[in-house]
Structure 1
Amino acid sequence: MKKTLILSSAVLAFSLMGTPALAASDLPENHRFYDEIDYLVDKKVITGYEDGTFRPDKTVTRAEAAIMIGQLKDLDGTQRATGFKDVSKSSKASGYIAAAQEAGYLNGYPDKTFRPDAPITRGDMAILLSNIFTMPLWGATDFKDVSANMKAFEPINQLVSYNITAGYPDRTYRPLTNVTRGQFSAFLARGLEPVFKNDTHMENSYLRDKTKVYSYRSADGIVLNARYTDDSHLNGEPLGFLWENYNEDVEDIFYTEDETYDMYNIGFPFSEYITELVYPIKKGKVFNIDNPFAPVSKITGVNVTVKTPYKTFTNAVEVTVPYDSSVNHDTGYKYYMVEGFGTVKTVGLDGKISSELIKVQ
């Protein structure tokens, strides 16, 4: 099923009007990454082969990655000397390899080689994406096969915070697994377009649709709108794709919303990272026990019915936060989370509504 693309400001220059359907003999429209590949083919970032195939399951090499990144970033691909002893001027990728190195997107090895025919791994891909996309924020995840001493540790966590990956259900990221052309296309497309970031949402996800705007009314009657945008910033510095709460009468607030198979989190720029829900969901489960930035929270209800001006939900998870003077709450409160909507309502333990969802468009 074809996705409907909503272009971000970052790529308005690349119009999708009149995109020709891919005609590759080995890429049916029901392929998992067909839309992502079609999107990048239209942008002339990736191409098929002369024999009419695309080979979506073929492993991407470092040279191929340099070419695709060079085309994405409009680098000068003119063949030239590279300074790498295993990449000659006559190599098809030499210009893009040299340009990618100069731009800081791809680097060589201490022995002055580039290893152009070596495969790109998922760990390599994380590092590459952290270099080409604006992703300064991250919160540490708990992948079983990713440790803090790994070069790709921070980039992998950035990919999670910016909804480019969520890892695998077995709580692994598999950093040493080679990346295919189809997967490479998916990673790149997710870095560029919110509609593709939605594809990282796991089954029964609590993440919101990044192509929609959510409106919430607070206790004082102010309506805050939440949209996913790449126009985020802090002190004039760009922050990449983040959620923005905005209203003409209040200062804009930017934050991440991410999810792994263990938890759902909210993170604020260079500040606290708060767990809002833990998985698997079970009544009585307590979390945020060791988080100095958030009060201890407890799941106190599942499949709860909660009314909001937008609609009545019957599958909400109720989380109770008792009064805690150390985090400056005037009273304890409860919040209600729904699959596909995140938090839809927050109510003080005194019964006063703090915030509730009123519209989605």
Structure 2
Amino acid sequence: MRLKFFVSILLIFLFLVGCSANKNSLEEEEGTVEEVNNKEEPIDKQEQESETDEETESNIEEDPRDEDVQAEQAEEQDVDNSSASYLMDNTNDYVKEVINGGQILQVITTYVGEDEGEGSWDLWETTIDGETHKFAVKEDEEGLYTGYPESEYYVDLVYPLEEGKTFENWGEVNTITKIDGTMTTEAGEFNHVVEVKTADNWTLFFAPTIGHIRSVDENGNVVSELIEIIPQ
């Protein structure tokens, strides 16, 4: 079956090596209270202290990091999966442990640039047992995709994310079974994890700004898992 052949390749060289530059990275404002230097000679110490207190109060009132702003920033940083990106952050390298034919391999995935062809695909390179392979990843408003540069691709997720939503890959149906899970691997704890059940009864897990973090086969065995994230 064409899908199973294509999936088997992707699971080793694509799915198993990751599926996000985070388009929606959030920046926290840095506010500071300016220190006022009084260049004029004060008349007396009491007057100097009074003026300094008034100026400090004025600056604190103008500080952008008041309680409302801080609360808003905290809320923004806890982005739910309805607005999160599941594209791999291209400022990181990703290390996965992959079990292939009973052999445990470490797979290192590194961003190498943008595809110069049609569309805005990110190009990644994986190193598997000393051999390198390139694959491409793309995210748009309709979904997340993984494939070969200028060739076939596979749909990882469809947006908007909804539990029970189905989508086709090469004529066979995958199902989104969970959209807001939590998962811990050696690489850390991940929130808003999306779970997908494939037509072959594999279960795939995706995390915001990371993409694919784990694959479980039809027998419940973990065959691929993210074990380390390395900032470039």
TM-score using structure 1 length: 0.37
> Higher strand fraction: Structure 1 or Structure 2?
2
**274 and 344 in structure 1: CA distance in 2 versus 1, 3 angstrom threshold:** same
Partner of 2:202: 333
Structure 2 CA distance for aligned equivalents of residues 241 and 204 of structure 1: 18
Partner of 2:96: 216
**245 and 285 in structure 1: CA distance in 2 versus 1, 3 angstrom threshold:** same
Structure 1 CA distance for aligned equivalents of residues 189 and 220 of structure 2: 18
Moved over 2 A (4+): none
Q: Which of 305, 315, 320 matches 2:197?
A: 320
Q: In structure 1, give the amino acid aligned to 2:219.
A: D
Deviation at 1:348, TM superposition (A): 1.0
Deviation at 1:203, TM superposition (A): 4.9
Q: Which of 206, 221, 246 matches 2:127?
A: 246
Structure 1 CA distance for aligned equivalents of residues 97 and 106 of structure 2: 4
Alignment of 1:5-20 (within 5 A): none
Structure 1 residue 349 corresponds to structure 2 residue 218: yes
Q: In structure 2, give the amino acid aligned to 1:352.
A: N
Give the number of aligned pairs.
Answer: 143
Deviation at 1:230, TM superposition (A): 4.3
**230 and 207 in structure 1: CA distance in 2 versus 1, 3 angstrom threshold:** closer
Structure 2 CA distance for aligned equivalents of residues 224 and 309 of structure 1: 14
SS state at 1:205 partner: coil
**350 and 340 in structure 1: CA distance in 2 versus 1, 3 angstrom threshold:** same
Structure 2 CA distance for aligned equivalents of residues 340 and 296 of structure 1: 25
RMSD of the TM alignment (CA)?
2.5
Q: Is the CA contact 2:122–2:138 (under 8 Å) kept in the aligned structure 1?
A: no
Alignment of 1:121-132 (within 5 A): none
* Identical residues among aligned pairs (%): 29
Alignment of 1:1-361 (within 5 A): 203-219=83-99, 220-230=103-113, 242-247=123-128, 249-288=129-168, 291-292=169-170, 295-323=172-200, 332-361=201-230
Q: Is the CA contact 2:145–2:153 (under 8 Å) kept in the aligned structure 1?
A: yes
Structure 2 CA distance for aligned equivalents of residues 285 and 203 of structure 1: 17
The answer to which structure, 1 or 2, has the higher relative contact order (CA under 8 A, 6+ apart) is 2
Q: In structure 2, give the amino acid aligned to 1:318.
A: E
Q: Is the CA contact 2:97–2:226 (under 8 Å) kept in the aligned structure 1?
A: yes
SS state at 2:92 partner: coil
**What are structure 2's unaligned runs of at least 5 residues?**
1-20, 24-81, 116-120
